Amino acid sequence: MAVTAKTRREVIARDESFCGWCGLYVDTASGQYSLQHRRARGMGGSKRMSTDLHANLVLLHGTGTTGCHGYIEAHRDEARERGFNLTQQLDPAAIPIGLKVHGVPAWALFDNLAGRRFITETAAFELLEQYGLAA
């Protein structure tokens, strides 16, 4: 399995070409971006269909070692508290993600149809706590 071209286009459109971590514009035409897997592909994850679907993916600056994506990989605790670093037993569609949208912090739930539903910070923290991800 891999992220299909269609899913890639839909995730970029859902995220409005803004980086989920820093909220700044991503010039996707430059190729200097990546779609992060919130729940890693490793440890058997690559065989699960949901791994390469929309709820598990978020547009970021950089690669796994550079830019915002690199920052997330190097700061796993901070990433976990914002829903960017999920363990294998978690369903990405159930876990809120702490985005920045046009630079403004905003919590959202993703679905696997390229949907993005904003929720309150209170609701997001309740979910994070329920799943053991709260700070």
List of residues contacting Zn ion (CB under 5 A): 19, 21-22, 61, 68
Q: How far is CA 75 from the centre of its chain?
A: 14
**Whole-number minimum distance, CB 35 to Zn ion, in Å?**
13
**Whole-number minimum distance, CB 69 to Zn ion, in Å?**
8
Residue nearest to Zn ion (CB): 19
**Whole-number minimum distance, CB 18 to Zn ion, in Å?**
8
**List of E strands, 1-135:** 33-37, 57-61, 97-101, 104-110, 116-119
Residue carrying the six token digits 């978020």: 58
- Residues 6 or more apart from 70 whose CB is under 8 A from it? 62, 63, 64
At residue 12, the 3 state secondary structure works out as helix
